[in-house]
C-alpha cells in the first residue's frame, strides 16, 4: 500500500470535516431574521431623543432583535452607508438619483428609502434675551455675518451636520456661513453655549426642545427661550413657533424631513425596524416627540382653553 492509499481515509475525513464545517458555518447575515439578529444603524445626532424612544419600544417588542445605533453627523452617516459600515441610516434627506444609481449598478445592492416624519429647525436664545422674534431675512443676515446686533450663530458643527447643511442649502441657498458662526459639538452643547452667552442664537432640531414632558428638555427650557419666526402666509399671527400645527399648515418656514435609507437584500432586522417606524406605533412615538408623523394622518383641532 503506497502512501496515498494509506492516507486516503485521512484525506476523506479531512474533506468531510471541511464540507461539514462549510455547511454549518453560514455567514451570520444569513441566519438573521426580522425577529432576531443585529443591525448597525447610523443616525443623525439631531434626532437622538426620538430615536432613543423608538428603539426602546422596538426592542421591548422584539427582544431578540438588536439595533445598535451610532449617533453622528449626517455626512458621516451617509459615508457609513456607502462604505458598508452599516446597512441603515436615518438622516434628513433621501438618496439623490446619482446615489440610487451607484447602489443599484456599482454596489449591486438594492436600497430602499422613505420619509418618516417632519422636523423643524428651531432658533433658541438666552433666557434673558429680548430677541424673541425674527424674520427670515434677519436669520439670513445672522448666518452670513451681517447681523445688525452683532450676534453669534451657534450650530452643531461647522460642516457635515444636517443643521449646517440646511442652513447653507435651504436658508442661504449655497452662500457661505459668516465668520460669526460658532461650532458646538452637539445639540446639547449648542443649548449650553446659548445659556452662557446672551448674544448667541442657537440652531437646533425641534426634537431637542419640543417635548414638554421630557425632564432633560424641560431643564433646557429653563435656561433658553425659543424664537418665533415671521409667517409670511399668516393673517392671524404674524410670528409663529415651531409647533406641530404650524408645521402641518406650512406656517413655520424652517421645516425638514426625516428619512430612513436601508440597504438590505433579505428580510432582516432592518426591514422589521423600518416597518415599526412607518406604522402606527412608530409614528405615534414621533408624534409624542412633537415631530409631525409623515405616514399617518395628523388632525389639528381648534379647542377652547378654560382659564
Could you check whether 31-118+256-293 and 119-255 share the same CATH topology? yes
CA 296 to chain centre: 19
Contact (Cβ atoms closer than 8 angstroms) between residue 73 and residue 65: no
Structure confidence at residue 214 (pLDDT): 60
Domain range summary for the chain, segments of one domain joined by +: 31-118+256-293, 119-255
Contact (Cβ atoms closer than 8 angstroms) between residue 167 and residue 173: no
Does residue 306 have a pLDDT over 60? no
Output the average pLDDT for the chain. 85
**Banded model confidence at residue 266, pLDDT cuts 50, 70, 90:** confident
Q: Name the percent of the chain lying above pLDDT 70.
A: 82
Q: What is the pLDDT of residues 81-138, one digit of tens each?
A: 988 899 999 999 998 888 888 888 876 777 899 999 999 999 999 999 999 999 999 9
Name residue, grid cell 471541511: 18
Q: What is the pLDDT of residues 26-79, one digit of tens each?
A: 444 458 899 999 999 999 999 999 999 999 999 999 999 999 999 999 999 999
Helix (H) or strand (E) segment spanning residue 61: helix 48-61
Q: What is the pLDDT of residues 141-189, one digit of tens each?
A: 999 999 999 999 999 976 689 999 999 999 999 999 999 999 998 889 9
Secondary structure, 3-state, 29-52: HHHCECCEEEEEEEEEHHHHHHHH
Contact (Cβ atoms closer than 8 angstroms) between residue 135 and residue 168: no
Q: Which of 11-20, 242-251, 297-306 has the lowest mean pLDDT?
A: 11-20
Q: Name the percent of the chain lying above pLDDT 90.
A: 66
For residue 276, count other CB atoms closer than 10 A to its CB: 21
**CA distances in angstroms from 184 to 91, 122, 161, 200, 306, listed in the order given:** 19, 16, 11, 12, 42
CATH for 119-255, among 3.90.1410.10, 3.50.50.60, 3.20.20.30, 3.40.190.10?
A: 3.40.190.10
Does residue 235 have a pLDDT over 70? yes
What is the distance between the alpha carbons of residues 142 and 193, in angstroms, rounded to a whole number? 17
CATH for 31-118+256-293, among 3.30.70.980, 3.40.50.620, 3.40.190.10, 1.10.10.1110?
A: 3.40.190.10
CA 92 to chain centre: 6
Q: What is the pLDDT of residues 119-135, one digit of tens each?
A: 999 999 999 999 999 99
Q: What is the pLDDT of residues 171-181, one digit of tens each?
A: 999 999 999 99
Amino acid at each position: 500500500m503506497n502512501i496515498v492509499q494509506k492516507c486516503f481515509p485521512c484525506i476523506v475525513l479531512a474533506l468531510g470535516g471541511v464540507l461539514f464545517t462549510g455547511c454549518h458555518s453560514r455567514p451570520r447575515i444569513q441566519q438573521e431574521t426580522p425577529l432576531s439578529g443585529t443591525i448597525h444603524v447610523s443616525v443623525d445626532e439631531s434626532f437622538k431623543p426620538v430615536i432613543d424612544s423608538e428603539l426602546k419600544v422596538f426592542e421591548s417588542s422584539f427582544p431578540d432583535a438588536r439595533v445598535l445605533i451610532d449617533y453622528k453627523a449626517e455626512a458621516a452617516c451617509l459615508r457609513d452607508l456607502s462604505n458598508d459600515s452599516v446597512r441603515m441610516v436615518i438622516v434628513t434627506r433621501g438618496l439623490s438619483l446619482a446615489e440610487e444609481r451607484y447602489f443599484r449598478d456599482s454596489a449591486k445592492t438594492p436600497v430602499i428609502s422613505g420619509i418618516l416624519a417632519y422636523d423643524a429647525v428651531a432658533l433658541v436664545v438666552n433666557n434673558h434675551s429680548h430677541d424673541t422674534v425674527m424674520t427670515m431675512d434677519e436669520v439670513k443676515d445672522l448666518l452670513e455675518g451681517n447681523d445688525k446686533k452683532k450676534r453669534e450663530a451657534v450650530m452643531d458643527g461647522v460642516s457635515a451636520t444636517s443643521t449646517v447643511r440646511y442652513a447653507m442649502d435651504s436658508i442661504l441657498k449655497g452662500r457661505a456661513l459668516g465668520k460669526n458662526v460658532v461650532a458646538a459639538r452637539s445639540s446639547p452643547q449648542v443649548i449650553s453655549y446659548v445659556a452662557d452667552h446672551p448674544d448667541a442664537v442657537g440652531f437646533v432640531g425641534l426634537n431637542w426642545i419640543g417635548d414638554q414632558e421630557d425632564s432633560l428638555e424641560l431643564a433646557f427650557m429653563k435656561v433658553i427661550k425659543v424664537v418665533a419666526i415671521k409667517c409670511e402666509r399668516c393673517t392671524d399671527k404674524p410670528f409663529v413657533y415651531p409647533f406641530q400645527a404650524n408645521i402641518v399648515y406650512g406656517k413655520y418656514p424652517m421645516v425638514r424631513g426625516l428619512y430612513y435609507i436601508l440597504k438590505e437584500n433579505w428580510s432582516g432586522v432592518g426591514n422589521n425596524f423600518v416597518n415599526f417606524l412607518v406604522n402606527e406605533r412608530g409614528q405615534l412615538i414621533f408624534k409624542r416627540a412633537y415631530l409631525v408623523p409623515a405616514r399617518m394622518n395628523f388632525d389639528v383641532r381648534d379647542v377652547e382653553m378654560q382659564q
